[in-house]
Amino acid sequence: MSTENKVKLYGFGAVGQGFHSYLVDNNEEDRLHTVIVKDETKKRKPIKAILETTNPNTAQDKTMHAIVELISSAEEAYGIVYENLEIGKNVISANKKLIANHLAELVKAEKQYNGKFLYEGAVCGSIPIIRILNDLFANDPVRQVSGIFNGSSNYILSKLFNEGISYQEALQQAQDLGFAEADPTSDVGGYDALYKLIIVAAHAFGKIVKPNEVLNIGIQNISLADIEFAKKHHQKIKLIAKSSLEGNKLILSVLPTFVNSENDLFNVENEYNAVLVESDNIGQHFYKGKGAGSLPTGSVVYSDLKAIDAGYSYSYSKLDKQNIQLANEEQINVVLSAETVSNIQNIGVDISNFTPINFDGSQLLGKIALADLKRNKTLIEQKGVSVIVIEDENLINELRNASVKEAVKL
Ligand code: HSE
């Protein structure tokens, strides 16, 4: 059998099955030659392709038109993606961890060996943000790209806020619905959003940085008290990935953030993701769509295959064109809260300039550098301290004034 336009698929989880559905619906199921799975005997929907377990010796396949990598392990995915790019193959991946950690060398291999490497499914599910940034914003200086990049965290925060169910119950639902990663720490710890942010920054600003250079704080420490606080002040809490370029300084972070109803992200709920892009000439764009799930993500993986068929590849037109430096000295306003004030006192952060904003001082408002939070991240997580960015200047002033009145009364 000729393998001219054939595809080898690694992984048949939620996204792999979604991709398969698109092949079937578009009368292209015959293109799927082989599916590599961990366990051939596992009960799964019937497919025409050959089912195989991984060959431990090599992932290279000279005969296929495209390799589609949709497994969860970033380490195993690296071998599959790199070894096939090395022989000039077309490769599609949705593995954000792998891509964020190895982007520079994967782009180099793609160029050097003349394959094509596409990965729209790695970032924000069905929102085609990589192609938008790579193509539409190629000739416009981008100032900021921010948004909700993790469907599972947003799903959990929405459920805590709107339905009052427990964190564990909401996480379980996100897993049952196929949104969360095999290890959900990546979702709730803000790593998944961080990997996506690194990929976005490469296309938006032309700078590739390593994930461990950037601050990411997740939603694990968000408490019922934080949710109540948000409600009282007409805010919601969203896990926001943010990148902005000021001069030649690139500022990147993933942090829980209070947003009010004037913010476009306020009404982005459940597994939906959203991206705000701001550039000099085009101005502001806002994209919203499902950020996780079998068919939404499967659809962009299938689009990548069609793009490869049509000869498309990312231009990376901004890559390494400017002397951009990552800047972590940026100061941000945050609310720190914990069960007791002593937990906050023991995270290694200088809180002498913070203002208590509740009766027992277990909620503090103040300004801090991203670098300080990054340096003390482990202690912050261990002590159960929630860190929530607050951007609403009116609310900041209101909280400060209320605090002063309380102090006067005492
Ligand atoms: N676990 C990811 C999320 C899947 O929840 O957003 C999509 O990348």
What's residue 152's pLDDT?
97
Q: How far does residue 292's CA lie from ligand 1's centre (Å)? A: 5
Please give the Cα distance from 292 to 150 (Å, whole number): 8
* Local structure of 401: helix, strand or coil: helix
* E runs forming strands in 107-234: 116-118, 142-148, 215-216
Which residue's CA is the closest to the ligand 1 atom numbered 4? 292
* 196 flagged as catalytic: yes
Ligand 1 within 6 A of CB of 125: yes
Model confidence at 39, pLDDT cuts 50, 70, 90, reads confident
User: Which of 2-6, 243-247, 261-265 is predicted least confidently?
Assistant: 2-6
Ligand 1 within 6 A of CB of 219: no
Q: Which residues pair with 394 in a beta bridge?
A: none
What's residue 405's pLDDT?
62
pLDDT tens-digit map of 341-362: 999 999 999 999 999 999 888 9
Higher per-residue confidence, 365 vs 46: 365
Annotated catalytic residue, options 196, 242, 288, 290: 196
Please give the Cα distance from 314 to 301 (Å, whole number): 15
User: Which of 56-65, 124-133, 147-156, 244-253 is predicted least confidently?
Assistant: 56-65
User: Which of 1-5, 149-153, 223-227 is predicted least confidently?
Assistant: 1-5
Q: How far does residue 180's CA lie from ligand 1's centre (Å)? A: 6
pTM: 0.96
Beta-carbon count within 10 A of 356 CB:
18
Of 176, 148, 119, 43, nearest to 297 by C-alpha is 119
Encode 61-79: b = buried (16+ Cβ within 10 Å), e = exposed: beebbbbbbbbbebebbbb
What's residue 40's pLDDT?
83
User: Which of 53-57, 225-229, 340-344 is predicted least confidently?
Assistant: 53-57
Ligand 1 within 6 A of CB of 192: yes
Ligand 1 within 6 A of CB of 292: yes
| Angle ∠(142,143,145) on CA atoms, nearest 5 | 85
Of 6, 10, 46, nearest to 30 by C-alpha is 6
Please give the Cα distance from 179 to 335 (Å, whole number): 29
Tell whether the model's pLDDT for residue 141 goes beyond 90: yes
Ligand 1 within 6 A of CB of 179: yes
Taking residues 235-258, report their average pLDDT: 98
What's residue 286's pLDDT?
98
Of 19, 181, 197, the residue with max ligand 1 atoms within 8 A of its CB, to mutate for a pocket test, comes to 181
Average pLDDT of the chain, as a whole number: 95
What's residue 361's pLDDT?
85
Tell whether the model's pLDDT for residue 153 goes beyond 90: yes
Model confidence at 57, pLDDT cuts 50, 70, 90, reads low
What's residue 409's pLDDT?
53
pLDDT tens-digit map of 156-204: 999 999 999 999 999 999 999 989 887 899 999 999 999 999 999 999 9
Domains defined for the chain, CATH in brackets? 7-118 (3.40.50.720), 129-326 (3.30.360.10), 331-401 (3.30.70)
